[in-house]
Structure 1
Amino acid sequence: MSTQTVMLIDANKLFREGLSRLLLDVSFQVTAEFASVDEAIGEPAVQADLVLVDPGEDATALTRIGPLRQQRPDTPLVILTGSLDARRLTQALEAGISGYLMKDMSADALAQSLRLVMMGEKVFPTHLAELLLSGQVQPQPATEITALRKGLSQRETQILRCLIDGDSNKIIASSLGITEATVKVHLKSLLRKINAVNRTQAAIWAMNNGLGQAEVTQAANSDGPATIGVATA
């Protein structure tokens, strides 16, 4: 397995040193360290395969993530922080991050999550679904929703709404008046279009992009914890 280089941004030097040693054991090598996002922005020539950052607890800290992301548009950026706050999570999502991870996760889960990010996955905490369903994390603007939905048929959109409700293929087929085989065909197509690998990811995608907001007040899913490409601690 090839080693991926990491730019690590965290105010705590001891934490940086410890994480650097841990990551080296799982094929990630920290090649650049910074105490703040501003320091990293000030060194645009520094290259890395992945940016791992704790923006800190400052209320304005996450506003610097956008410029850092713009400076490195082709480099996955993952937030690794000690708290899951709806407002901060929304800011991070708007900045186009590839993942939002918690510092209390296990080393194995962190390693697996980072590997998924390097494969192009979006990785977020299991708490994300709860935040989405409670309305604490707001869906994206209508213009972005329209762009993201491009290519989805009316039937696929209906199935996405059913997934938000946690409906099984049998229930979806009954409610839409189609066969279970047809549901499977539509499900396979919509998963491909929105780059989701399972119905859980599809349901979270739908919630995060405004589908079913008027129709649904609470939802569940049949695939276990709602995660996007991550093995939890």
Structure 2
Amino acid sequence: MRILIADDHDLLRDTLVMFLSSAGDMTVDGVSSYSDAMDLMEQEDRYDLLLLDYRMPGMSGLNGLKDALEHNRAGRVALMSGDAPRSVIEEALNAGAAGFVPKTLPAKSLRNAVAFMLMGETYMPAGFLQDVAARTDPVLQDLSRREAQVLRGICDGKSNKEIGLDLSISEATVKLHVKTVYRHLGVANRTQAAMIARDLGFV
């Protein structure tokens, strides 16, 4: 997997590049400006994920996101920020962002967020999802034993195939349980299911 991080804060950017590269399965590049990111994408093969600092020079907020989505059509684009308001997060996701990553995330959570986005999921901060949880009525006790086991696998970051191997059931059966879990929790993807389950004390 190839990742490009664009952030004008040198220490943060270099730390992220080094940390994600240490996973061994990612090639990570870093640049200090939006224009450098666009130039690099013109020169290199596609990146699987582009992480853009929302407030860096040349970014122009959500306009930069939209331009980056057009430049990186074969991959995904996410925003990073330390202080973006909820309205910006919603607009970014509606515009097609793969996620919104707070700069305050612990290192392990950041790696998990990147993994989620590389799997095709949408990542949102936990604080953003708390409002979602408040609007839904997830009754965890209504989950069957098998559905609860599948939800636990989702919370552990496992794929449908891995969950199926753990539970000795087919991947197709896992997919059916996942859909039922989504319906119980009132969510649309694995990221939301895992975060709401954690907020509700499931894990």
TM over 0.5: yes
2:136 to 152, 155, 164: 164
Residues 168, 222 of structure 1: 8 Å contact kept: no
Distance 1:223 1:81 in 2: 25
How far 1:97 moved relative to its partner?
1.2
- Is the counterpart of residue 50 in structure 1 residue 49 in structure 2? yes
How far 1:132 moved relative to its partner?
4.6
Equivalent in the alignment of 1:74: 74
CA change 1:70–1:106 in 2 (3 A) is same
How far 1:68 moved relative to its partner?
0.5
Equivalent in the alignment of 2:90: 90
How far 1:42 moved relative to its partner?
3.8
How far 1:18 moved relative to its partner?
1.7
In structure 1, give the amino acid aligned to 2:99: G
Of stretches 67-76 and 78-87 in structure 1, the one that deviates more from structure 2 is 78-87
The alignment covers a number of residue pairs equal to: 166
RMSD after superposition: 3.9
Equivalent in the alignment of 2:34: 37
Distance 1:196 1:89 in 2: 25
Distance 2:180 2:80 in 1: 24
CA change 1:222–1:82 in 2 (3 A) is closer
Distance 1:133 1:37 in 2: 35
Distance 1:102 1:36 in 2: 18
Distance 1:14 1:168 in 2: 42
Distance 2:18 2:196 in 1: 38
In structure 1, give the amino acid aligned to 2:127: H
CA change 1:169–1:133 in 2 (3 A) is closer
Distance 2:96 2:52 in 1: 14
In structure 2, give the amino acid aligned to 1:166: P
Residues 37, 68 of structure 1: 8 Å contact kept: no
1:6 to 3, 6, 26: 3
Gaps of at least 5 residues in structure 2 are 145-173, 190-194
Equivalent in the alignment of 1:186: none
**TM superposition score normalised by structure 1:** 0.57
Equivalent in the alignment of 1:199: 182
Distance 2:48 2:197 in 1: 32
- Is the counterpart of residue 120 in structure 1 residue 120 in structure 2? yes
SS at match of 2:63: helix
CA change 1:79–1:200 in 2 (3 A) is farther
Residues 21, 28 of structure 2: 8 Å contact kept: yes
- 1:59-114 Cα distance to aligned partner (Å, 9 max, x none): 94222101101221221222222124112102211221112111112111111221
Equivalent in the alignment of 1:224: 198
Greater RCO between the two (CA within 8 Å, min separation 6)?
1
Gaps of at least 5 residues in structure 1 are 135-162, 173-179, 181-190, 207-220
CA change 1:168–1:116 in 2 (3 A) is closer
Residues 69, 95 of structure 1: 8 Å contact kept: no
**TM superposition score normalised by structure 2:** 0.64
In structure 2, give the amino acid aligned to 1:199: Y
Residues 167, 222 of structure 1: 8 Å contact kept: no
Distance 2:112 2:136 in 1: 26
